[in-house]
A and B are shown apart, each in its own frame.
Chain A
Amino acid sequence: MEALWLSLKLAACVAAILLAIGMPVAYWLAYSTWRGKFLLESVVALPLVLPPTVLGFYALVAMGPRGPLGKLWIALFGHGLAFTFTGLILASVLYSFPFAVQPLIASFEGVDPRLLDASAVLGAGALRTFWRVILPLSLPGVVTAAVLSFAHTLGEFGVVLMVGGNLAGVTRTVSIDIYDHVQSLEYGAANRMALLLLVISFAVLSVVYAVNRRVWTP
């Protein structure tokens, strides 16, 4: 159960961080008229196509004691970043980035531009327009972004294995735990965890689709 708790904690942290970072990035990608914006769009989508091991490998190198991030971290906090919970969060944020940003972009772009014009001529600056108009009208997208990044982080394996290793209570998430059990031929324990993950994932995705289908709004 320690593994499950750790996974949920990781997923919640990652989802929260991704919403905070994802919104300005998505806002910029949705509304910028810069011609080179496709480059950033490609970077954002990269984790969708890269094998988790590639991402995990670079994350590990960067966070290692000789990597730029690792060095900085040691200088700041006196300990390394690899094989820690914080390191895991960092790598997971990268890995789940498109799952948060893509739904946000889609819903921001879906807001009628004339509503933004209306807000502007009524005296609202960009920030107020975002809070009062764009965000409320993009709520399904925000929920989708939060839930997808939560669920995606919950189920990740490759990145966690590369960056986090397998330290009980620190980096041993559910998916690692299952792998561990199978390796030691404890199929019963593996099955319990696998089933649990399956149920949680299904429930979470049901929430996303229900929100998008407006099941709860009459």
Chain B
Amino acid sequence: MSGEVNGTMLTAQIRKQRHGASSFVLDVSIEVLAGITILFGASGAGKSTLLDCIAGLTRPDEGRILLSGDVLFDSVRAIHIPAPKRRIAYVFQTLALFPHLSAEENVAYGLRNLPEEQRRERVGEILMVFRVEKLRKQRPGEISGGEKQRIALARSLVTEPRALLLDEPLTGLDAELKAAIVDDLRGWNTAKAIPILYVTHNRDEVDALGERVIALDNGRVVTAGAPMEVLNAPRRKKLAQAAGFENLLNATVLDLREADGVMRVKLGESACEIEVPLGYAAAGSSVQVAIRAGDILLATERPRGLSARNVMEGRILSLEQRGTMAIAHVDCGVTFVAHVTPGAVRVLELTAGRCVWLVLKTHSCHLVD
């Protein structure tokens, strides 16, 4: 999906100050090509403000917004195309379906300029694409979550928008349903090839969707690129938490082993020492180490003959079943969170109070600044 140089592209350089209790400044410059780009960040990072600016619902203090060469906003030339004239579709987190209109009327809302005949045809078509044609006469109050999300998508896309903004449109859906809706969306966009900016703070959605990711933190773009590059090297604490690094530990650097590309750190106030990749830090300085709960192995006996450099003895504090996953809190002087499968819990007979060994690869430990 790259290389649509002459195709639609959305660029935004925006500065917007939000007044109120905490002064917040959104100051970003982004480029969105045709296809799905994920806008990723913790809540309060400025994602919705950015989308509102692009849609024309909020006026930036300064900057420029261009959509395939057309100026939508330019503070210097005092241009501000109002939202109704931008032809940018926007699916809100709350979906904002009109409660007094049927599904069909909701979808037809943006098509008032078409003759009746054509309008009905287009509405019928898009309801079919999103597989909700049987709900056409129902009102949003009578429709389930996933189907409401499909109707909100249909309502936005039927207008043939020049760009699409999605603000966590699939929150609360199970993975399978989510994947199905995303497939429908992708299918629709293979023909249209418009820029789609998809906001989420869910790590799994990034992996499932992402062609490109823009990570936002505290109103700034932190990194942009392919999902793996952006999210596996969290250089910022907030982003690390948002990206699903359940373990975020304070550590002190003990010594650097430049030849091996590693350094040893002491975790918190404990005696626990681990080896982590070499970072810009001097011996004695403080760093933060981020570790994903899914990257930690549990063993009931001291493992031997492993390539993993970090093996720590600890005790299970608690074990909690959540869906198809068990979450273990393990005390090794500092508390680690580890994810294991229910099968492993059964076979290893893991329970609270049990002594275990944690195994951790050096490169599963990420440094955060």
The answer to whether A and B assemble together is: yes
A114 to B112, CA, bound (A): 20
Contacts of B352 in A (CB 8 A): none
| Interface-centre pick from A120, A121, A123, A136 (highest chain B CB count, 10 A) | A121
Closest chain B residue to A137, Cβ basis: B100
Encode contact with A along B50-88: 1 for CB under 8 Å, 0 otherwise.
001001110000000000000000000000001111111
Q: Which residue of A lies closest to B83 (CB)?
A: A120
Number of A-B contacts (CB under 8 A): 61
Known interface pairs A122-B110, A124-B109, A133-B98; A117-B84 also in contact (CB < 8 Å): no
Measured between beta carbons, the chain B residues less than 8 angstroms from A117 are: 52, 55, 57, 83, 90, 92, 96
Q: Given A114-B94, A132-B109, are A120 and B57 neighbors across the interface (CB < 8 Å)? A: yes
Distance to closest chain A CB from B197 (angstroms):
13
Q: How far is the CA of A201 from the CA of B155 in the complex (A)?
A: 45
Q: Does A114 lie within 8 Å of B96, measured CB to CB?
A: yes
In the bound complex, CA of A133 to CA of B100 (Å) = 8
For B93, the closest partner residue in chain A by CB is A114
Contact status A121-B83, CB under 8 Å: yes
Asked if A125 is an interface residue, CB under 8 A from chain B, the answer is yes
Q: Do A118 and B92 touch (CB < 8 A)?
A: yes
CA distance A121 to B99 in the complex (A): 17
B89 interface residue (CB < 8 Å to A) = yes
A137 to B83, CA, bound (A): 22
> Does B351 make an interface contact (CB < 8 A)?
no
Residue B241 lies at the interface, judged by CB distance under 8 Å to chain A: no
Does A168 have its Cβ within 8 Å of any Cβ on chain B? no
| Separation of A132 and B100 alpha carbons in the complex (Å) | 10
| A-chain residues with CB within 8 Å of residue B98 when the two chains form the complex | 115, 118-119, 132-133
Judge whether B112 and A123 touch: CB under 8 Å: yes
Closest 6 CB pairs of A and B: A122-B110, A118-B96, A120-B83, A114-B96, A121-B90, A123-B84
| Interface residues in chain A, defined as those with a beta carbon under 8 Å from any beta carbon in chain B | 112, 114-115, 117-125, 128, 132-133, 136-137
